[in-house]
Structure 1
Amino acid sequence: MDMDTENDGLTFRLDAGEKALFASIAPSAAATPINEAWLHQRLVDAGYGDLECRPEAVTTLLHQYNNGMRVDDIRLAECVDAHYTISVSPDQMQASLDITPARGGDPVTLDQVMAELDELGVQVGVLSDVIEQTVAAGSAVGVVIARGLAPVAGEDGYLETLLPDVRDRRPHLTESGTIDYHDLGNVTVAHPGERLMRRHPSTAGTNGITVKGDCVPAHAGKDMMFAPNLSGVAAAPDDPDILVAAISGQPVQVKGGVIVEPVYTVETVNMATGNVVFDGSVKVRGDVCTGMTIEATGDIEIEGVVEPATLEAGGSIVIKGGAMGSLGRKEGAHHLIRCGGSLSAGYLQQIKAVAGDSIFVDDMVMQCDLTAVRHIRVGKTKRGHIVGGRLQATYSITAKVLGSPNRVATLCEIGLDPALNEQLHKLGKQRGTKEMQLVEISKLLAYAKQHPNKVAPEMLQRAKASMKALYGEIEVLRAEEDEISRKLQLAQQSRVTAEEAMYDGLTVQSGSLKYTVRGEHGAGAIAITEHGLGLVPTEAPDDATDR
């Protein structure tokens, strides 16, 4: 193709065979000097703007043209074919296409791309429509043109409770501020042969496949096994994945299964009946009289009231009537209510109590010493007053009214659970020990790799098994550390809340921080702020953070 550009003596000729553009100069007396920009514009106007100019040829052409010298067929520019690359990801789960556009040369063709995929062994998940569109566009950066099928992990096994009212003594996965008074119900009794729990097996999952057709094994779900030595239950004769009651008693959900505890029922506990010490749960239909003791490995449920007495339960304690102790009097030091779960009562007066979970009181708490690992909540359908005494909880203390107009000294302590810090330190130490063991095994395996004849196969096999076990144990410890760290973080969000009023005489402490209420206030909360403990708005129940 020849083109005479505005009779300036400069012509271009495209040689398809050479894939090159040639330029010729016929000197003209009327020609004016030109520069590189002028030449580039001429190439654009002639339809050759995409070609790759040869810098040395451009310099020569400009020099000879501006000096009126004749030039025949100087190789000015090259036609550059489109370039493409197909990349397969390291995990071979996808292939991507990059196309550098042609500059006057040949474009990439669909056949070229498909042939390259075949050569690379890409045979699964090829996106033909995407390839056609991308090739037609002539340019691409990282366009995915083949996708493997990712494996689907198996589901973990789990345990399903078959009775709706089974009491739950498992560690809580989340600490919820929502108050649940289900413990105020009657004791559920299971009878021999009654089905209590079903074990659902894990699933294997679905294997994946790479773009090259290789199998990607799925991670199988973790099996959930029944814990050993579950008392009062047995496997169903026709189904080993179902637990049935072996005795009559109270079913209690525990970690890894369910147990059935014997239930001891008594009308009242007084001098005539004597103290009650029972391996199981205790139900008292009436009252517990002054000076008496009830100890149970399970729950204690009392229909009536409790006079100054001692109650100790491995599970929860429910006092439907209420309890009046002798705190502040000489004999008060000998009376204590302690439980591993939650304490629920109609009212508490001059009581010393310690709960491994939470304390729920329907009416009033007056001049008590209460400690709960999680929450203290006073007031459901009745007054909901806390007057005097000391209350300590990690996450929250909530009542309708805190303190009294008479300025009775009332101390609330929040956000401090030394046991969590101690447990976190212990877990970190255990993990550190196992990680050191892992380092030593790694050194042994590295040595065995370099000197395969110097390490016995049996030792190598044991080392690999130990490494696998250590990885699993470290993962469990890290998960436990993360859970405790989360709880400690939640403790920093702890608060004392008055839903209706708080009075002068109320003091709130959190570690070294202290806040004393001055005057009378309406609804409000005291929590840790950037300036220390201070008054903050109350949270609506639906907006409260789960703790």
Structure 2
Amino acid sequence: MEGIAKYRLEVNISPDKLEAGILLRVDEEDLDTLLLSEGDIYKELEKKKIKVGILDNVVLDLCALPRKYANSQVTIARGVAPVQGVDGSVEYPYLDSVVEGNGPKELEDGRVDYYNVTSIPNVAKGQLLARKIPAGQGTAGTTVTGETIAPKAGKDVVIKPGKNVVQNQERTMIYAAIDGQVSFTDNDKMNVFPVFEVNGDVDFGVGNIDFVGTVVIRGNVLNGFRVKASGDIRVLGSVEGAELHAEGSIEIKSGIVAQDKGHIIAGQNIRTSFIQNANVTAGNQVIVSQSIMFSTVRAGKEIICKGAKGIIIGGVLQAGEKIAARVFGNTSATPTILEVGVKPELRQELVQIQKELQVVYENLRKTDQGLSVMNQILQVSGELPPDKRMLQIKLTNTRLVLEKECKSLEARKKDVETELKGEGPAAIEAYHVMYPGIKMTFGKLVHFIKHEYARTRFVVLDGEISTATLI
């Protein structure tokens, strides 16, 4: 119609179909004579099959104030985004009945009882230990064109039964099969172990301990003694140059003074107040409240020393994910080595594989020499004597076995080297200060600390070790 402004409506749908926009294309000189009706807009939306989440207030606004929206896209419809399902989880009802000690208690005569600091969290046969909460399926969404968007289900979780526990038929609950103490071992398996208690020191009066369960020592573990447990080990005193090996976790209340003797090994976590001149290895975490001094400490995930003192000086510390302390080193620039980014056992395994391969290569060389001699005899005489024939068969079989072993070791070596190259995110965190003298290694990247850093986090970004200030 003559005198009526020309315009064009363009409707665009986002790639995920959760939003639609409308664009009013009109020349500036036509805006004053523009007549735009709600019906025109709804008709355009209908052409694009948009029927969900239409913003009626925007439609009214567009008709009333076209100048405001001219030649500029505005959202005209919004769909409903799907809601991802909640990840599955595990509840541990037995923890509700566990009461930990609140520290040393003062006796009537004024002395302090340091031996009964911890109450042992025992469970009873038949007690519910773990309950699986299934992952949520989420809520479906709807596109602006009315299509259903399937939600993403949450990640499922698996509860892993270990020793002396039973599951229900649906595998959603774990119950204790005996009276004892809960302990988590390799791959987070849940176990119940009987408890063996020593009401004093592990000394010549007690001897070495090897127990299929959890061991609680209410005194100290002295030089040269061994304590082995398939569950946890709890020491309410200190540990000297002894050997402790727990498939679960180890807790030492008063610290470790090893004088470069013995070895503390836990499949899960090691928790103590201080570590001095010791060799400590944990599959998961090493958590220290005061200090780590001149020790070799390895952890599959983290080494944490960030208490009120929280200082690490000297030694070699290796962790798969993080090493954190309040203070690293001292003003004397004592050499301290920090390695993160790869599980320490991978480095050790690679060294062991390389040693084993050298032995296999040497045995293969000797076997090939023997077979070569047999072939020379055969070429000269046309046949082998019975004893040489038996030796040839034996060498041939030996070579087949060595070849198979060699292929297996080389394949594992390749896998380990790949893991060493592709280390996951790792960090070293100094919550107060890091002094010079520190050598830090992230996988294959090495950095020497030559000046003080205050409240600093060290990470790898774009193939280089970089720093960020901790708040």
Q: Same fold (TM over 0.5)?
A: yes
1:508 counterpart = 2:438: yes
Are 1:241 and 2:172 an aligned pair?
Answer: yes
> Which amino acid letter does the alignment assign opposite residue 113 of structure 1?
I
Aligned to 1:94: 19
Output the CA distance in 1 between the equivalents of 2:228 and 2:80: 59
TM-score using structure 2 length:
0.62
Taking structure 1 as reference, are residues 125 and 197 closer, same or farther at Cα in structure 2, changes over 3 Å only?
Answer: same
Contact 2:318/2:344 (<8 A) preserved = no
Check conservation: 2:124, 2:179, Cα contact below 8 A: yes
> 8 Å contact 1:414–1:496 — kept in the other structure?
no
Give the conservation status (yes or no) of the 8 Å contact 2:222–2:242: yes
Contact 1:391–1:411 (8 Å) recurs in 2: no
Paired residues of 1:131 and 1:145 also in contact (CA < 8 A): yes
Matches of 1:248 and 1:412, distance apart in 2:
45
- With over 3 angstroms needed to count, the CA separation of the structure-2 counterparts of 1:379 and 1:482, relative to structure 1, is same
> Counterpart of 2:157?
224
**Alignment correspondent of 1:114:** 42
CA offsets 1:239-261 (integer angstroms, 9 cap, x no match): 86332222222223565663323
Helix, strand or coil for the counterpart of 1:306?
coil
Structure 1 pair 510–297 and aligned structure 2 pair: CA distance change class (3 A): same
Q: Name 1:210's counterpart in structure 2.
A: 143
- Pick the aligned partner of 2:62 from 124, 134, 143: 134
Aligned to 1:369: 295
**Is the deviation greater in 153-162 or in 249-258?**
249-258
Question: In structure 2, the residue corresponding to 1:113 is in which secondary structure?
Answer: helix
- 1:280-291 correspondence runs (5 A): 280-291=213-224
Counterpart for residue 160 of structure 1 = 91
How far apart are residue 365 of structure 1 and its match?
A: 6.0
| CA displacement 1:267-296 (0-9 Å, x = unmatched) | 343345442222332112233333221122
Change in Cα spacing, 1:287 to 1:326, as seen in structure 2 (3 Å) is same
Gaps of 5+ in 2: 99-116, 351-418, 461-466
Change (3 A) 1:538 1:280: farther
Write the distance in 2 (CA, Å) between the matches of 1:95 and 1:537.
Answer: 41
In the TM superposition, residue 152 of structure 1 has moved relative to its aligned partner by 1.9
- Distance in structure 2 (CA, Å) of the matches to 1:528 and 1:363: 22
1:413 maps to a residue whose letter is: I
Which residue in 2 is equivalent to 1:266? 198
CA 1:201–1:277 in 2, change beyond 3 Å: closer, same or farther?
Answer: same
Residue segments in structure 1 that go unaligned for 5+ positions in a row:
1-16, 21-78, 168-183, 427-479, 531-535
How far did 1:372 drift? Answer: 3.5
After TM superposition, the structure 1 = structure 2 runs for residues 354-365 of structure 1, keeping only pairs within 5 Å, are: 354-360=281-287
Which residue does 1:72 correspond to in 2?
Answer: none
The SS at the match of 2:124 is: coil
Shift in alpha-carbon separation, 1:247–1:97, aligned structure 2, 3 A: same
What secondary structure is seen at the aligned counterpart in 1 of 2:343?
Answer: helix
Aligned residues: 361
State whether residues 396 and 496 of structure 1, in contact with CA within 8 Å, keep that contact through their aligned partners in structure 2.
no
Q: Is the 8 A contact 1:319 1:344 kept in 2?
A: yes
Q: CA deviation at 1:410?
A: 4.2
Contact persistence 1:497–1:538 (CA under 8 A): no
Change (3 A) 1:218 1:417: closer
Q: Secondary structure at the match of 2:58?
A: helix
Aligned residue for 1:486, secondary structure, equals coil
Letter in 2 for 1:217: A
SS in 1 for 2:23: strand
Quote the Cα distance in structure 2 between the aligned partners of 1:127 and 1:537: 45
Q: Aligned residue for 1:69?
A: none
Contact 1:234 1:243 in 2 (8 A): yes
Residue 351, structure 1, aligned to residue 278, structure 2: yes
Q: How well do the aligned residues superpose, as a CA RMSD in angstroms? A: 4.4
Cα-to-partner distance string for 1:107-143 (whole Å, 9 max, x where unaligned):
3322222233334432222222211211232335322
Correspondence for 2:267 among 332, 337, 340: 340
Cα distance in 1, alignment partners of residues 459 and 149 from structure 2: 50
Cα deviations by residue, 1:166-189 (Å, 9 ceiling, x for unpaired): 99xxxxxxxxxxxxxxxx844311
Q: What amino acid sits opposite 2:192 in the alignment? A: V
Deviations 1:91-112 (A, max 9, x none): 4433322222365576332222
> Paired residue for 2:337?
413
The question of whether the paired residues in 1 share the 8 Å contact of 2:342 and 2:420 is answered with: no
Q: Does 1:308 align with 2:241?
A: yes
The 1:121/1:202 distance shift into structure 2, 3 A limit, reads: same
Contact 2:305 2:311 in 1 (8 A): no
Which deviates more from structure 2 when the two are superposed, residues 266-275 or residues 283-292?
266-275
- Separation (CA, whole Å) in 2 of partners of 1:399 and 1:85: 60
C-alpha displacement of 1:375: 2.6
Worse-superposed segment, 268-277 or 214-223:
268-277
Aligned mate of 1:252, from 145, 164, 183: 183
Q: Secondary structure at the match of 2:41?
A: helix
The 1:399–1:269 alpha-carbon spacing in structure 2 relative to 1, beyond 3 Å, is: same
How do 1:464-475 and structure 2 match up within 5 A? none
2:250 maps to: 317
Report SS of the residue matched to 1:134.
helix
Is the 1:379–1:400 Cα contact (8 Å) retained in structure 2?
A: no
| Alpha-carbon separation, structure 2, partners of 1:92 and 1:166 | 51
Q: 1:496 to 1:410 in 2, by over 3 A?
A: farther
CA distance in 2, matches of 1:379, 1:80: 75
Alpha carbons of structure 1 residues 513 and 152: separation in structure 2 relative to 1, 3 Å: closer
Residue 251 of structure 1 aligns with an amino acid whose one-letter code is: V
Deviates more, 1:130-139 or 1:103-112: 103-112
What are the residue-to-residue correspondences of 1:53-202 with 2, within 5 Å?
A: 81-101=6-26, 107-138=35-66, 139-164=70-95, 185-202=118-135
The answer to whether the 8 A contact 1:508-1:515 is kept is yes
